[in-house]
Structure 1
Amino acid sequence: MPLSLLAPDPATPCTDTDQICQWLYNVTDSAWLADGGYYLLIKPIRIIVIIVVALIARSLLNHTINKIVARTAQGKVPTMLRPIRVPVAVLNSGSMFPERRRQRAEAIGSVLKSMVTVGVFSVAFLIVLSEFDVNVGPLIASLGIVGVALGFGAQSLVKDLIAGLFMLLEDQYGVGDVIDTGEAVGVVESVGLRTVTIRDGRGVIWYVRNGEIIRIGNKSQGWATVMIDVPIGFVGVEDATAVLRQAVDAFANDPEWSADFVEPPQVLGVENISVDGAVIRTVCKTSADRQWDLQREMRRRLTEALEASGIAAQMQAARAMRTAVPADEPTAP
């Protein structure tokens, strides 16, 4: 650049130390352009640099979050996305249900990316305002007041989001779990920050807000106890107990079902006595995802065992004798 372009000109509106103004005046020969050169050239460049830096920072942070989410979906769960309370089923199996793991990771990743976007662009916006000599102190205070007002006005939404976030962090339930929320009982089909979608046994879809859930019963985490009460009427308790124990022992040793038992099944004995006779309870501990299949199979085997031993016929005969009305019994007037 020629030195003459930077040499001060007494006729210019610039000061001796303002080289940018002097350079613009020497190039354009325009006093108003030289006078406003700082705001027409330097300020826009600085604002563009701030925006570009914010975009780059947001992109890098989102890329890091995407990599973490991808690793989590593949089973490599980093420390920041591990649940605060690890379910027993996860400890036993070493992994989580794939769809549940993927959806949980994506939900947490979406929250993190939203927080990054809001944080980065909020800081960039305040820096841009400061470039225009705007006092950002009162603005920050005003935004804080507006945030408090919105928080009071949208309490239910904030409550749902906070409850959903803690639900994800604590891994209270996930896709594929069978949960009981009080009103709705069924299989979790999707999990979000605001609502959870449940399909009950009749196929009805329930959309339950996270903030309205007071208590959760998860039937799919860890192990489950199957309890079956078998009424035997007034037949011999010892005979019926022996038959049931033989049936559950054969069931536990069946190669097709033995892997589903956490502990061997037990026949506890008489659980209840009513006008219809005694009730014998049988319990077993199994994995949570197999409890219903195992329960149905055990009921079938116990029923067949009672029928094969003749106890079922004795129960029916005793019930028929109790319900039969003698022919010579006088009828009520």
Structure 2
Amino acid sequence: MNSLTSVFKNVFEPFFQEETWAHIGEGFIKILLILLISMFLIRIGKQALNKFVEVRTNSPLRISERREATMVRLLQNVFSYVIYFVAGVMILETLSVDVRGLLAGAGIVGLAVGFGAQNLVKDIITGFFIIFEDQFSVGDYVRVGTFEGTVEEIGLRTTKIKSWTGEINILPNGSIVEVTNFSLHNSVAFVDVSISYEENIQKAEQVILELLEELPSRYEDMVKTPELLGVQNIHATEVTMRITSEVKPMRHFHISRMIRKEVRTRLNEHDIEVPFPRMVMYNRTEEAQHSSTLKGK
């Protein structure tokens, strides 16, 4: 009984002392102040980063809007994580936790994990530089190795690319060595138009040029009036002319189809024949009769 009373006294007696509650109250106030100051710093820091981007917007050395938005989100997240980490360390110190020993142990564990997960570290570093350098962004049409499609998601470890047939290709960022981005600049649509070898080339060119002047008003994806480069190839039965058109990024497939349709329709309206396979049939019986008639004469 005496031992139980002694244990109870040793455990609960400090809670009945004024100094204990004063210490707890002081620690609670410190933690509350740390959290409030952290939230205030994060808010001020995010506003400062947004203000910095607004200043760069008016600068003649402005980077792309996509890169600005990506960099602002990345810097805001990094800034928030740093503030959270510092606040966490200060809260642990307030709770009388040996922070130096904890950080030393975490450093050793992190080093061991780093040696065992080199590919993971490589993926994260590569992903950071993909975002930092704005190599491509969500919505861009890219080619990475044998994979080609629209970027669905970019993370620090993996990138998801959706092919035009619907498959989602998940690529570790560390495996991305070469990237072809089709969405950064305007595309060029080119169409080869063939006319029959017997047709008048000058007439066909004039008809096509008149048509090309009308197309930009019909298709808003065209950046400027298409150009007729001239004769591209001469074959035994046809003459091929090439048309090029500068269009908005990734709209060259659609515009190429539309140009083919428009040119084909306009050539038909002017009775300009396009080449097509022909088959000539001879009746051997009639040829034999014709030959015998000639011999009789």
Q: Taking structure 2 as the reference length, what is the TM-score of the superposition?
A: 0.68
Q: Is the 8 A contact 1:265 1:283 kept in 2?
A: yes
Aligned equivalent of 1:320: 278
Cα distance in 2 between the residues matched to 1:41 and 1:85: 57
Aligned equivalent of 1:250: 214
1:86 matches 2:47:
no
Task: Please state whether the residue corresponding to 1:186 is helix, strand or coil.
Answer: strand
Aligned equivalent of 1:210: 173
Q: Is the 8 A contact 2:215 2:225 kept in 1?
A: no
Task: Give deviations 1:166-210, integer Å, cap 9, x for gaps.
Answer: 333333333332222233322333333333333322222333333
Task: Please state whether the residue corresponding to 2:146 is helix, strand or coil.
Answer: coil
Identical positions, percent: 26
Question: Residue 118 of structure 2 aligns to which amino acid in structure 1?
Answer: Q
Cα distance in 1 between the residues matched to 2:157 and 2:37: 28
Cα distance in 1 between the residues matched to 2:53 and 2:160: 25
Unaligned 5+ segments in structure 2 are: 1-12, 285-297
Unaligned 5+ segments in structure 1 are: 1-31, 91-95, 329-333
Question: Residue 223 of structure 2 aligns to which amino acid in structure 1?
Answer: V
Aligned equivalent of 2:88: 121
1:221 matches 2:201:
no
Task: Classify 1:162/1:65 alpha carbon distance in 2 versus 1 (closer, same or farther; 3 Å).
Answer: farther
Task: Give deviations 1:69-93, integer Å, cap 9, x for gaps.
Answer: 9x79xxx9546999x9834xx5xxx
Task: Give deviations 1:81-136, integer Å, cap 9, x for gaps.
Answer: 99x9834xx5xxxxx6xxx99788656644543343234324544x448x56x582
Q: Is the 8 A contact 1:85 1:171 kept in 2?
A: no
Q: Taking structure 1 as the reference length, what is the TM-score of the superposition?
A: 0.61
Cα distance in 1 between the residues matched to 2:249 and 2:108: 49
Question: Residue 52 of structure 1 aligns to which amino acid in structure 2?
Answer: L
Q: Is the 8 A contact 1:47 1:128 kept in 2?
A: yes
Task: Classify 1:58/1:272 alpha carbon distance in 2 versus 1 (closer, same or farther; 3 Å).
Answer: farther
Aligned equivalent of 1:190: 153
Say which of 139, 163, 188 aligns to 2:126: 163
1:298 matches 2:262:
no
Cα distance in 2 between the residues matched to 1:306 and 1:269: 16
Question: Residue 211 of structure 2 aligns to which amino acid in structure 1?
Answer: A
Task: Classify 1:199/1:52 alpha carbon distance in 2 versus 1 (closer, same or farther; 3 Å).
Answer: same
Aligned equivalent of 1:180: 143
Q: Is the 8 A contact 1:265 1:282 kept in 2?
A: yes
- How many residues are paired up? 267
How far residue 301 of structure 1 moved from its aligned partner, in angstroms, is 1.0
Aligned equivalent of 1:28: none
Q: Is the 8 A contact 2:56 2:62 kept in 1?
A: no
How far residue 37 of structure 1 moved from its aligned partner, in angstroms, is 9.0
1:285 matches 2:226:
no
Cα distance in 2 between the residues matched to 1:262 and 1:186: 23
